[in-house]
A and B are shown apart, each in its own frame.
Chain A
Amino acid sequence: MTTLLAIGTRKGLWLATTDDRRTWQLSEPHLLMHEVPAVALDTRGGRTRLLVGTRSEHWGPTVVRSDDLGATWQEPDHGAIRFPDDTDAALERVWQIRPDAAERPGVVWAGCEPISVWRSTDGGEHFDLVRGLWDHPHRSEWGAGYGGAAAHTVLPSPVDDTVHVAMSTGGVYRSDDGGATWAPRNTGISAYFMPGPEPEFGQCVHKVARDAEDPRRLYAQNHHGVYRSDDAGDTWHSIAEGLPSDFGFAVLADPRTGGRVWVVPLVADAERVPPGGRLAVHRSDDAGRTWTTCGDGLPDGHWNAVLRDAACVDDDDPTGVYLGSRSGEVWASRDGGDGFVRVADGLPDVLCVRAARLP
């Protein structure tokens, strides 16, 4: 069984493959000199489709796809994501590409900058703007995080028409009707950077992940704060106790084991480096009640951040865990994060990683 790891960087895409998740073969660069902030591996239906959000400093953003592992790339002449004329908006960056559940073949979601969510029904070849969120009365009050104003997380539920979106800054929004209508779901999440009581929305949630066993259970890494919700986001409770810091970008949930979650803490908002320069993942097997530091093989003396999509899990057993750093290094674990091997180094800043077994 071959596992594919897609590595999106500030200057292109690299693909790594392995048959044992221990020894990896790294490709030549694809889409060189294009920033790759989003990548998805859609293996539904026995086909592997790479969907890549790219952005050229000169020529703008777009989504390209490949059905032959990067040998050739395609995109529609008019672009896969194109703001309608009446919006007076232009696509700035694709932050997230998310294939839906196997039961909804062809459906792919995208989260973009400016803050917007898009839905494709043709496997990511063309996307339609999700008007219910774009026309939301809160939109004019959503702000920009340091990296831009973006919907960076889209989480369709595998069991019903619920979709969660997280944006910076705006927080978590949930639709219960497949994207038609949306409401903020941030009760309990701190917005320490805003004066007054906690707002209904405006939080800077960095990433949200869904539990494997209970689709109503969510985990969130906030801009300071690590949270769990047991009611699909209606209320959130801190699970940061036991972690060295409550700041970070990534949160991962195991796709096959309920209650198993990983975070990659950084010291603080004003100190975005691993505590003590020791890169580590912290794993919980009880939905965030207790945490274990792990990550043998990850480096000491490492003063770079793991960004929100530069961490992922695969669909193998046991679950693989993958990290990429702004240092251009990428590591893989095939034992749930206990030990890592280095897949690549010397790459440009890693912006996103995604891994999957090839059908």
Chain B
Amino acid sequence: MRVPRALAADLGGARETDLVVTAAGPVSVREVLDVLAQQHPALARRVRDERGELRRFVNVYVSGEEVRRLDGQATAVPAGTTVEVVQSVAGG
């Protein structure tokens, strides 16, 4: 997973972390973010609220596509794929 600079502090200053996700079938974005929540809870709650919803101005990309344009958190994540968290253009 790759995160923006604004969240690097929650990864000890790093921009990337490896996540090992085991699942019976294809791994979903939700399962990736669930593992993130176990390993880096402070980072994970910047990305999703306590209901598990993606925050409004946080975009998650899989293979170059924003997951809201795909199947949301049900979007499949092929093995070895980098999931990217990107802040949207928002605010003033």
**B42–A82 touching, CB < 8 Å:** no
Residues of A in contact, count (CB < 8 Å):
17
Stretch at the interface among B23-31, B53-61, B74-82: B53-61
Q: Does A103 contact B (CB under 8 A)?
A: no
**A59–B46 touching, CB < 8 Å:** yes
Q: Does A318 contact B (CB under 8 A)?
A: no
B87 surroundings in chain A (CB, below 8 A): 58-59
Residues of B in contact, count (CB < 8 Å):
18
* Identity of the chain A residue whose Cβ is nearest the Cβ of B58 in the assembled complex: A58
Q: Does A212 contact B (CB under 8 A)?
A: no
**B51–A89 touching, CB < 8 Å:** yes
B3 to chain A, nearest CB (A): 11
Known contacts A58-B6, A60-B45, A79-B45: A90-B90 contact under CB 8 Å: no
- Tell me the dominant secondary structure on chain A's binding face: loop
**B50–A90 touching, CB < 8 Å:** yes
**B51–A77 touching, CB < 8 Å:** no
- Which of B49, B53, B90 sits near A57, CB closer than 8 Å? B90
Report how many A-B pairs have Cβ atoms within 8 Å: 46
Q: How far is B43's CA from A313's CA once the two chains are assembled, in angstroms?
A: 37
* Identity of the chain A residue whose Cβ is nearest the Cβ of B40 in the assembled complex: A77
- Which of A78, A85, A88 sits near B45, CB closer than 8 Å? A78
Known contacts A58-B87, A58-B90: A91-B55 contact under CB 8 Å: no
Per-residue 0/1 for A187-222: is the Cβ within 8 Å of any B Cβ (1 yes, 0 no)? 000000000000000000000000000000000000
* Identity of the chain B residue whose Cβ is nearest the Cβ of A61 in the assembled complex: B49
Q: How far is B50's CA from A78's CA once the two chains are assembled, in angstroms?
A: 9
B46 surroundings in chain A (CB, below 8 A): 56, 58-60
- Which of A58, A75, A79, A85 sits near B55, CB closer than 8 Å? A58
A60 to chain B, nearest CB (A): 5
Q: Does A83 contact B (CB under 8 A)?
A: yes
* Identity of the chain A residue whose Cβ is nearest the Cβ of B51 in the assembled complex: A90
B51 surroundings in chain A (CB, below 8 A): 83, 88-90
Known contacts A60-B45, A78-B41: A83-B50 contact under CB 8 Å: yes
Q: Does B33 contact A (CB under 8 A)?
A: no
* Identity of the chain A residue whose Cβ is nearest the Cβ of B42 in the assembled complex: A77
**A59–B55 touching, CB < 8 Å:** yes
A82 surroundings in chain B (CB, below 8 A): 50
- Which of B6, B42, B49, B50 sits near A75, CB closer than 8 Å? B42
Q: Does B22 contact A (CB under 8 A)?
A: no
A333 to chain B, nearest CB (A): 32
Q: Which of A70-87 contact B (CB under 8 A)?
A: 75, 77-79, 82-83, 85
B38 to chain A, nearest CB (A): 11
Q: How far is B6's CA from A57's CA once the two chains are assembled, in angstroms?
A: 12
- Which of A58, A60, A85 sits near B49, CB closer than 8 Å? A60
**A58–B57 touching, CB < 8 Å:** yes
Known contacts A57-B91, A90-B51, then 4 further A-B pairs from the complex at CB < 8 Å, ordered by chain A residue: A58-B57, A59-B47, A79-B45, A85-B50
Q: Which 4 A-B pairs have the closest CB atoms?
A: A90-B49, A59-B46, A77-B41, A57-B91
13 chain-A/chain-B pairs, Cβ below 8 angstroms: A57-B57, A57-B91, A58-B57, A58-B88, A58-B90, A60-B49, A62-B45, A77-B42, A78-B41, A83-B50, A90-B50, A90-B51, A91-B49
Residue ranges of B at the interface with A (Cβ–Cβ < 8 Å):
6-7, 41-42, 45-47, 49-51, 53, 55, 57-58, 87-88, 90-91
